[in-house]
């Protein structure tokens, strides 16, 4: 062991077999607690120096090995810590910037930053009717974004000029300020206020974009909407968003889709639902009915695809649902289509002439229903729920 009263491991509060990560973590904790801007104890500065000295030795494999074998890793006495000024150099070259580096997770080397940066993504909304969402469409979309400046082509400089090196930071992009303290010279680095960290300045900015390299512009683009989309889905158009500063590459454009309600059909996942009213007599006797499909909303639809024929069995009750496979919405991911669900709503006649009323009276007598007794029955969503959902959209 060196001829010192201090035990570096004890100062940092770590075992002698501590890993470099444990040593670094312990040092950060101690340094933050003893930092002159935080600590209130009168001996904080001295303790801070000892903690820094212990870390300087134990973080270095060669110095730590020499210390563990009883040697003096600092080359005599306090070495690089001879007085407060020793923090900025000394025999061992210990710089206060290394101290800050260890305390706050690493000092970032800024340097000049590029004027050319990627642009932000943009989002626009596109309303679709149900047929367009189900079968796909190509729709025009008006977009207002930043585009490449046509005058300077993104350079930001007027014609015949170009950016020049900043005279304040000499092209470094940042400036360093030195402040004296009882711990030595404290150096802080900040972006150059003249060039804002770019390292260059534009003496003659472009009059069109004022040096930005981009301008606002409205344009119309065609968006191809795939079949089977629904509200909430976004279509991504790569490199159609905002052009970046300095004429940088454009971000992406996201088209948020919103499907408008339909007057007749309701979409449930990949299925289409419709309510069909039929007369009481047709429901009792059975019949065939034609149902118009969603294809009828397409401008170039084949008439043969716009209708399907349904067989309504005799005795059909109001609320009965009949399905037609393959006539729902196309599936966005996967093959095929959903089903078309047709919920039948049996209509009771309200206007009868005398002959019709007599015929119904005879039917009621024949079925012994002149004075029927009602039966209370617990209904299910299968009967009334589908009708309610079809009308109120729940």
The angle subtended at Cα 182 by Cα 180 and Cα 188, nearest 5°, is 40
Angle formed by the axes of helices 20-34 and 96-103, nearest 10°: 100
Q: Would you list which residues are annotated within the binding site for Zn(2+)? A: 149, 152, 166, 169, 192, 195, 206, 209
Whether the Cβ atoms of residue 168 and residue 217 lie closer than 8 Å to each other: no
User: Which residues are registered as beta bridge partners of 123?
Assistant: 254
Residue 61, burial from CB neighbour count under 10 angstroms (0-12, 13-18, 19+): exposed
- Name the residue with tokens 């007085």: 83
Q: Which helix (H) or strand (E) holds 47?
A: helix 44-58
- What element of type H or E holds 362? helix 354-366
Which is it for the CA torsion 107, 108, 112, 115, positive or negative?
negative
Kind of pairing between the strands at 253-259 and 174-181: unpaired
> Beta-carbon neighbour count of residue 390 at 10 Å?
20
DSSP-assigned letters across all residues of 195-264? TTTSSEE-SSB-TTTTTSSEEEEEEEEEEEEPTT--TT-EEEETT-SPPBGGGBPP--EEEEEEEPPPSS
Closest CA to 268 of 345, 344, 341, 343: 341
Which residues line the annotated binding site? 149, 152, 166, 169, 192, 195, 206, 209
């Amino acid at each position: 062991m060196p001829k010192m009263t201090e035990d570096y491991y004890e100062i940092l509060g770590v075992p002698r077999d501590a890993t470099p990560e444990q040593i670094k973590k312990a040092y950060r904790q101690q340094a933050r607690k003893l930092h002159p801007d935080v600590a209130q104890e009168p001996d904080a500065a001295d303790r801070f120096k000892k903690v820094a000295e212990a870390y300087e030795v134990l973080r270095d494999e060669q110095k730590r090995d020499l210390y563990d074998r009883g040697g003096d890793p600092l080359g005599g006495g306090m070495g690089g810590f001879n007085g407060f000024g020793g923090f900025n150099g000394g025999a061992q070259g210990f710089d206060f910037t290394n101290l800050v580096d260890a305390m706050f997770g690493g000092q970032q080397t800024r340097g000049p930053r590029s004027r050319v940066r990627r642009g932000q993504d943009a989002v626009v909304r596109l309303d679709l009717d149900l047929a367009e969402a189900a079968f796909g469409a190509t729709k025009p979309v008006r977009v207002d974004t930043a585009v490449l400046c046509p005058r300077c082509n993104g350079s930001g400089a007027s014609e015949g000029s170009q950016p020049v090196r900043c005279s304040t930071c000499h092209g470094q992009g940042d400036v360093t300020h030195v402040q004296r303290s009882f711990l030595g010279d404290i150096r802080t680095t900040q972006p150059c206020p003249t060039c804002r960290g770019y390292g260059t300045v534009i003496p003659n900015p472009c009059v069109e974009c004022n040096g930005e390299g981009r301008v606002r512009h409205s344009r119309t683009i065609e968006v191809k909407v795939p079949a089977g989309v629904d509200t909430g889905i976004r279509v991504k158009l790569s490199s159609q968003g905002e052009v970046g500063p300095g004429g940088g590459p454009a971000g992406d454009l996201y088209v948020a889709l919103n499907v408008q309600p339909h007057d007749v059909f309701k979409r449930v996942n990949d299925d289409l639902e419709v309510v069909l009213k039929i007369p009481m007599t047709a429901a009792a006797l059975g019949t065939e009915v034609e149902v118009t499909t969603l294809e009828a909303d397409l401008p170039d639809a084949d008439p043969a695809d716009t209708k399907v024929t349904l067989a309504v069995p005799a005795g059909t009750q109001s609320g009965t649902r009949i399905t037609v496979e393959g006539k729902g919405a196309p599936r966005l991911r996967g093959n095929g289509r959903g089903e078309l669900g047709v919920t039948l709503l049996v209509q009771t006649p309200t206007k009868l002439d005398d002959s019709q009323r007599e015929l119904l009276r005879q039917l009621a007598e024949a079925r012994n229903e002149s004075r029927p007794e009602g039966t209370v029955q617990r209904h299910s969503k299968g009967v009334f729920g589908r009708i309610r959902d079809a009308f109120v959209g729940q």
